Chains A and B, each alone.
Chain A
């Protein structure tokens, strides 16, 4: 429906002389608004009332009848939520109905001033998302009250609803509502296509009896506008061919935020809230409202909305970083921060306790920045990561049980003694030699001796293998930790640059802005990888790309003369082409005032621009601090886990080592030395008689 421009108001208006039902003059005051059907005037002496006077001098019977019925239906609950017609106004001469009187909805504004971000900051500076949810709840309640009385809004739109500072919602333009009286339906002949359900799209509305299902569609659209700060549920990015108007999308049930993307073929618009940012129940209501079966729609009733929205109000959460961000506890992270971090707008601003000036916002942020305590990145416990050493062999308290090998070793010692002593007596030597050879031979080749040697070899091999693994594990832990630390340090460095810039004086702002521009440009250039654009650079072969790669020249940023000249295999022609490509890329660069201000603004009002810059920066720093904290936290967790595993392995190794030492301790000391390995045993077995024989020769 077309609302004529406000210019109507600027044209001279004739103020007709009108009577009320008891023929008293109703003195019209100033006109405060005009619409397609009539002009709305103040009434002198009655500040709480307004008069709507129709443009037409005589109304048709149907309209006349409808207005009289409306006045007769007025009830307290309706008067509370709507500017319901209280009385009629008559032409003094013809007695025809010319207009009506209604309550003035004071200090209230059209709904779009609340959900529109710019108008909200002007008209409702205190309103945060929670307020929008509350307005949605009250809106549903107003629809509920009307529906209880059998009244339908019919022409649902953003202009016929006024909301006040307390988020209470009231309806105007009630003479277009559809009412039923004694079985007679007084229709609402008009509609607004963006709020009209699919089954009524492109129908002639004057011929349609509206139902509560139709109103339910319009109500859901309005609630969506509020919750999604102005987005229309059917305006998204259509993936199919051709243009998709909202009317068409509605008719084809292409709800742009639906979970059923394969059906709708529409992606939600960028930088907006998502359905998943809301509690599941609310998402379901939207899906039901916008994807309802056209032939038999069952859309959410006002009571259902009231229930879900009240739960949402109770379970809302305030962002720990920016207290102006209010969101549903259904989402893990603050969706407003997510949108802002991705370069989207600030839908809600922290206006502090008193006013919306940047000074007070800055003071609030200052206080928060103070609170960033020094964040500790966990240190690597180098002592714990040292490799374990063999424990001392502990002599067990009770005397160890001697085995065959021990006795054989003892036998050899005796034989060896005989061999040495035999230097003076041949038969003794012979006996010693036989004994030595026999005991050593048995120790060397017998089962008992062999087993002892093998146990030791195996134990040592196992211990060594595990030690090697431990060493590898320990160095992996250090390496992983080092990598995390490096990442953290890089991040911390950028945060601390941020803090420095934040603390900078107004005088240094220009330098900072220039620097930001350079950094942004460098990042932009880094985004253009040579490999991806190879085909656009004449003469550049894959081999050259590989060569450039090995010189760490992989993006437009690195295409600099000094860097290029060192690279072998690069012809001067290709070098020029590369540089030309870089110039082309550079031309595409468009500086985005990242922190919200440009040099131009800085020149206009340095103080204010600096404050705005700092506000944006402070938010980033707080975000950064949050991220640093979570990095440190994650690093601690991962380190703890890895160390626990390492420690368990060390314990296992110690267990094995201890066992080895125990076994060793259980052997007689002389056996341990003699039976060290096969060579020692044989050497000793043969050596003793030999030495004896030698001595015998010398002595003789």
Chain B
């Protein structure tokens, strides 16, 4: 697979006119569990950002929130606000990569806009897009650096709160830089919407049947920082909730026989199901809050709309970051509370760009990590990825397409999920010969 973060491959079995099996294989193992167990608790936030180069802030926040939950401390409101701002920066950065480098080349290719299916192909046809992408990416990195300390380790975010607050000068500069990106993202949204209209017929096969959304998005405060309650939302808008401390009971991991990684399914539905995390799920959570009608959720689970939802979330992140900086942020040095890790268990949930990220840690009597369980969004989405790929390939096969054409469409379907393979291969590993 190309234009995906990390190393993955699709393995498809075709028997005559049937697709009999699809495996989304993530062959690289990264033993973070082995690295983490035995480390001092306070080192956990320094290690986990290395799980993923595109969402290190979400991992850092997952770790510090889990430590804080184990120590039963509440952090000052300004610390939570700056963490949210750092996450908004990460949403902008990650979605910018996904939209401009991964899905736009596909959708422009489908609409015959480009022949070379990448950012260079885009630049030759629509030179407005690359500068917009670069401006967004840079703005996101400035926002993350100001609030989290740096773009890859987020070392300003510590157990107990923050190392330091931002200054008024930084606040003003951030607001200015964020404003300057708005026209570009609005233009991109219109352009993407136009492209989608052009291929309405083609994309129907990318609709996920009866999705079951999972989200911890805080719909009261509108924050990716999340709540401790995880929501399952069905297509008809019905909801069920569980506490993030109990996630191992509700989200069961299953080994993939062909890979050192795992997929996750919901315990109440033991067959491989259509669990979907990420922008679709967050929208479902928001819509369920505003109206419980089935009508409001219509059309969401089409995977080609994911790109549009990501553009929406970029715009939301920019406008919300401006609002938080202008109206809620406060100066002051009271940004953390003291914390000494005790023997205990802690858990956390946060919305990473790709969806719900869950942490659970056991701390032993000498302040070291005894055990850790991390569930990442790409594991949550893994069964839906194989399901949609099979559906798309079967539809293409019925149209009599060649293997190459069919595989191309399958890869597009995978990219719509924006899978984060580096993240997903972090887990309990098994070694093959």
Co-complex (A, B)? no
> Which A positions have Cβ atoms within 8 angstroms of B?
none
